[in-house]
Amino acid sequence: MKTGARILIDNLKEQGVDIIFGYPGGSVLPIYDELYDADIRHILVRHEQAAVHAADGYARASGRVGVCLSTSGPGACNLVSGIATANMDSVPIVALTGQVPTGMLGNDAFQESDITGITMPVTKHNFLVNDTIRIPQVIAEAFYIAGTGRYGPVLVDLPKDVLMRSVSPEEILPGIPDLKGYKPTYHGHPRQIKKALDLLRESKKPVIYAGGGIVASGASEALCRFAEEMEIPVTTTMMGLGAIPSDHPLNLGMLGMHGTKFANYAVTGCDLLFTIGARFDDRVTGKIDEFAPGAKIIHIDIDPAEIGKNKAVDVPIVGDAKVVLDDILERLNPEDRVIRTAWLEEIGKWKKDHPLTCGNGGGLHPQQIIREISTLLDGGGIIVSEVGQNQMWAAQHYGFKKPRQWISSGGLGTMGYGFPAAIGAWFARPEETIVLIAGDGSFQMNIQELGTVAQYKVPVKMMILNNMYLGMVRQWQELFYEKRYSYTELPFVDFVGIAKAYGVPGRVVESEKDIVPALKESFETDGPFLIDFRIEREENVFPMVPAGAAIKDMIGEHVEQEDD
């Protein structure tokens, strides 16, 4: 006879789970009692939200399914922002939640919440397990759904009596998915691929618009080969950073609201937009009617619901980015390669005339800090960001070389995501240097995880770009609300003192000459290290596309000075 909790642990091991990020509580005590002796490592975070973000960071860094665990009621509800974050960015995680006994469901019992109802809009699928014998099948289906097709979060809600009940092996349903209506499409339709190749041959000004689907499907090498063989410039979304090396001559960098000028000009002027694993979100397109206005559009995406959702396309191709790109590469002939010298020279002039620049004047400039980190790590390591100005400066100025080097909350923009995600990333890839880029506002949203990095000696290097503001909101208030800084100024915080209280070393940096010595000290220190960079308080992220404007209509004092 086995209890439901024992069956759960056995099936998690069968799925290859070796680490769970969680926080205990009454409803999940049967699981925690089994974890006490299990060959699965459990990381005790300090808040359930950190558990789901850590599982998310683990999944993005490793390409495997991340797992988190919480108790019922408030514990389960504290997972919601993290589940929604994973859902928006198509990250495979399985969230396990405790629930009150089945006989008390719907009675407003202590610490009861309808977590399957609450998370229905933000999960790829969820389960309420009402019988112990179903646990193996549900776990197998949860991992299969999370890690196939368009990846996403799956929640499994486990009532306490289901976990405690003992059943005989003969009663237990096999751990085999039974999902008759779920059949992801991986191969693109041959006729559509032929149409795409025909458009490529006719195009004089093509641009590849690559999104996070390239990273998720492992299509980076295929993308680079395709771009090189066809000599097509590539711009990426924020989620697609690392899909092509930042110093690759065909790389235009990021496009959209805080993209490069030359990427936005190229997309505006192209006659063919070859879109792969991206979803035309508003931060990328700006005014949708003026996004790639004269271009034919090819859209490759594994989720058919994304194709044509925001922008009409000429050639829709449903399939996995890597599988479809491999199919296209196999079909390419020497005559498919079109000489587009004039187009590449036009883009080259834009790149020369409108480079990304650092802030000027005295004081500490965040762009310079990011560039120094990139130089010291030679574009290596894993960079995890919080959300806001820190995120955009990191996205713009770090020299990413490979996929899965960049971890950030894209679609939902979840402040407080980065610190716990960095912890998860290190447990996935402990051989890498993990750098957290944070703002002082976002870092304080999960600052309690200093306890987690101290307990497990997680060597995350925490770089706080401290301007004593909620910086991105302040920037919008400066530019669009006549500098009326309504409730965005933050009081002084002694971050180094707080870190030391948890047993984590750190230092304050206030001048440019101290940037490199401080970074070297952090990288040479075993274990976690925090640097409080006191940056220029009103530094802005430029260029910027105002909300609702076309992406060619950028503002930005640094770039405008270059134009003069």
Q: Which of 230, 463, 472, 544 is catalytic?
A: 472
Angle between helices 321-331 and 190-202 (to 10 degrees): 60
Strands (E), 186-292: 206-210, 234-236, 251-254, 272-276
Number of H helices, E strands in the chain: 24, 20
The secondary structure element, H or E, covering residue 464 is: strand 461-466
- Please measure the distance between the N-terminal and C-terminal CA atoms of the chain and give it in whole angstroms: 78
CA distance 252 to 268: 13
Which residue is catalytic, options 104, 111, 192, 368? 111
Active-site choice (88, 124, 141, 160): 160
Furthest-apart CA atoms within the chain: distance in Å: 79
Sign of the CA dihedral running 381, 384, 385, 391: positive
Rounded to the nearest 10 degrees, how much is the dihedral formed by the CA atoms of 474, 476, 477, 478?
Answer: 90
Residue 53 class from Cβ within 10 Å (0-12 exposed, 13-18 middle, 19+ buried)?
A: buried
Residue 312: CB atoms within 10 A of its CB come to 11
Q: CA nearest 294: which of 268, 256, 265? A: 268
Give yes or no: 472 in active site.
yes
Q: Evaluate the omega torsion of the peptide bond into residue 543 and state whether it is cis, within 30 degrees of 0.
A: yes
CA 523 vs. chain centroid, Å, equals 24
**Long-range contact pairs involving 221-224 (C-beta distance under 8 Å, separation at least 24):** 222/321, 222/322, 222/325, 222/326, 222/329, 223/276, 223/321, 223/325, 224/248
To which residue do tokens 């559009």 refer?
A: 297
Give the phi and the psi of residue 44 in degrees, each rounded to 5: -85, 105
Residue 303 corresponds to which tokens in the numbers above? Answer: 């989720």
Whether 110 sits among the annotated catalytic residues: the reply is yes
Residues in the chain: 564
Q: Is 111 a catalytic residue?
A: yes
Cβ 65 vs Cβ 58: under 8 Å: no
Within 8 A by CB and 6+ apart from 168, the residues are 1
C-alpha span between 26 and 104 (Å, rounded): 15
Find the angle CA(276)-CA(271)-CA(392) to the nearest 5 degrees: 50
For the annotated catalytic residues, the residue numbers are 48, 110-111, 160, 472
